[in-house]
Structure 1
Amino acid sequence: MIVSSSRKITQILRAELDKLVTLPLIWRTLMGTFIVNLVLAAAFTSVGLQGAAGTQSILNIGLASMGYLQAGFIILGIIATCSEYTGGQIRTTLATIPWRGIQLSMKHLALAIITVPAAFIIAASGVLYTFMMMRDTAAWIETDTMIKALAGATGYLTLTTLLSAAIGALIRRTTPALVVLLGYYFIVSPLTRDFLPSIKKYFPDTAGYYMYMPLSSDEINVLTPMQGTGISMLWTLIFVTAAIVFYRKRDA
């Protein structure tokens, strides 16, 4: 029974990976995000070379595009779960794999497997570009700090993708899911932080910021990278769990 269940889960995971890998929109989104990130990195680096960035480190400038970069991973997560509803392929999926909870869980795991290396490469590319252009002018930062920051950036982008995939599974339509998530991350959250400063650090995007951005010694009332990771993971787990529960209860 254990071997049979393990084989079943492995087969479902492989099927979900195959679906994501063969979906052209996944690769177009990742490629577009990579290109946009390099453009933004070049812009922020140019500002730094002109002196407008003050004494910021290479890491601060290289990761300055993260606030915009997350949009690509939000789109990635929504596409991963909403694409099957667009053409009705979800019915074929559920006819082939009737175990809904396992199927959606494996979809999120497959998405994470794709997202982790992609997020690391894209985040690191911005830092690498900044290093190549500013290694003689900007303040340098320790290697272990850079590794921790890139790991945090990768983790944040991955969690954002999984959270977006869960929202996509709940809403089941691409455009409304995009409106909800992009509206929250780029409009609602920035505005709400000004009105609710005492709780802003517990928002998923703000908590995620502390996962990767080095903090100055004069900053107070901030989260540690581990605290930011824990809060971001909690938000993601809540929405993924909700998506699985609703997915099991309603018809395709």
Structure 2
Amino acid sequence: MSVSSSRKITQILGAELDKLVTLPLIGLTLMGTFILNLALAAAFTSAGLQGAAGTQSILNIGLASMGYLKAGFIILGILATCSEYTGGQIRTTLTTIPWRGFQLSAKHLALVIITIPVAFIIAASGILYTFIMMRDTAEVIEIDTMIKPLLGATGYLTLTTLLSAAIGALLRRTTPALVVLLGYYFIVSPLTRVFLPSIKNYLNFFPDTAGSYMYMPPSSDELNVLTPMQGTGISMIWTLSFITVAIVFYRKRDA
């Protein structure tokens, strides 16, 4: 790769990072997600204090908010790719950066750079709060025991954000993307598990269920479960597939 090409890619990535960092809704979404996580951690910890808490219980309680926390990262991904369409700024972007494939890829990479540290901090805050509040009833948590679920939670939130960004790029409108993704994660998938138990095992191969195995160890009586690596692999396949489709459509469609 030539120096000029490397400089162009760096400039495109810098521009995408600058747009994400300076977009007010991104900051508000992350701040709101952090506050929501602490509120949920406090609620789950308060409930957990009513019973005995072992090492695994603290991890489970600290990560219990993940089921709700992902909504903030879904919104984050959608805003990252849909915000430019709202006011027509996408035309300026494509005029300045005509290399559409590089531009959308750089946007996803910029989103990764922002999401990973934020997801780690937010997920860690829930575990830390729970441990501090339950330290008198808790066993000592080893680093390996804590870090693996924490890294898994960070990876899950990051992949969820990227998947949401890809679907946002496909739909190009914030509201439809929110309806589709939030509807799937919080309505369709939970109701399917309840009312169609016969296909429960197949749901393990969908992004939300597979992703949950990245950070939450299965119960001892749960059958046909995935390992964290299998859950990660399936989630990555879904994410990369949607990103690829989004890039293909992005290159062929009008702004």
Bin for the TM-score computed over the shorter chain = over 0.9
Given that 1:56 and 1:138 are in contact with CA atoms closer than 8 Å, whether structure 2 keeps it comes out as: no
Q: What is the total number of aligned residue pairs between the two structures? A: 252
The range that moved more, 45-54 or 147-156, is 45-54
Q: Is the 8 A contact 1:41 1:126 kept in 2?
A: yes
| 1:108-129 CA distance string (max 9 Å, x none) | 0000100000000000000000
In the other structure, the counterpart of 2:213 is: 210
Structure 2 match to 1:106: 106
Do the aligned partners of 1:58 and 1:139 also contact (CA within 8 Å) in 2? Answer: no
Q: What is the Cα deviation at residue 215 of structure 1? A: 3.0
1:76 to 2:84 alignment: no
1:155 aligns with 2:155: yes
Q: How big is the shift at 1:140?
A: 4.9
| CA deviation after TM superposition for structure 1 residue 26, in Å | 0.6
Q: How far apart are residue 145 of structure 1 and its match? A: 1.8
Question: Retained in 1: the 8 A contact 2:53–2:134?
Answer: no
**CA offsets 1:80-123 (integer angstroms, 9 cap, x no match):** 00000000000000000000010000000000100000000000
Letter in 2 for 1:36: L
The 2-side partners of 1:209 and 1:87 are apart by 36
Q: Report the equivalent of 2:125.
A: 125
1:58-73 alignment, distance < 5 Å: 58-73=58-73
TM-score, normalising length: structure 2: 0.95
Percent of aligned pairs with the same residue?
Answer: 85
Of residues 240, 246, 249, the one that matches 1:246 is 249
Is 1:57 matched with 2:60? no
1:139-218 alignment runs, 5 A limit: 139-194=139-194, 195=196, 196-218=199-221
- For 1:226, the equivalent position in structure 2 comes to 229
Query: What TM-score, normalized to structure 1?
Result: 0.96
Distance change in 2, residues 1:153/1:190 (3 Å): same
AA at the equivalent of 2:71: A
Structure 2 SS opposite 1:198:
helix
Q: 1:144 & 1:56 partners in 2: Cα distance? A: 12
Q: Secondary structure at the match of 1:113?
A: helix
Deviations 1:194-220 (A, max 9, x none): 412120111101111100012344433
Where structure 2 has 5 or more consecutive residues not aligned to the other structure, the ranges are none
Moved more, 234-243 or 43-52: 43-52
> SS of 1:57's equivalent?
helix
Cα distance in structure 2, aligned partners of 1:87 and 1:219: 48
Task: State the distance in 1 between where 2:125 and 2:16 align.
Answer: 28
In the aligned structure 1, how far is the partner of 2:251 from the partner of 2:137? Answer: 56
In structure 1, runs of 5+ residues without a counterpart are none
Q: Cα gap change, 1:61/1:207 in structure 2, threshold over 3 Å: closer, same or farther?
A: same
Q: 1:235: how far off?
A: 0.4
How far apart, CA to CA, are the structure 2 residues paired with 1:166 and 1:53? Answer: 40
> AA paired with 2:90?
I
What is the identity, as a one-letter code, of the residue corresponding to 2:39?
Answer: V
1:174: Cα distance to partner?
0.5
User: Aligned in 2, Cα 1:117/1:55: closer, same or farther, shift over 3 Å?
Assistant: closer
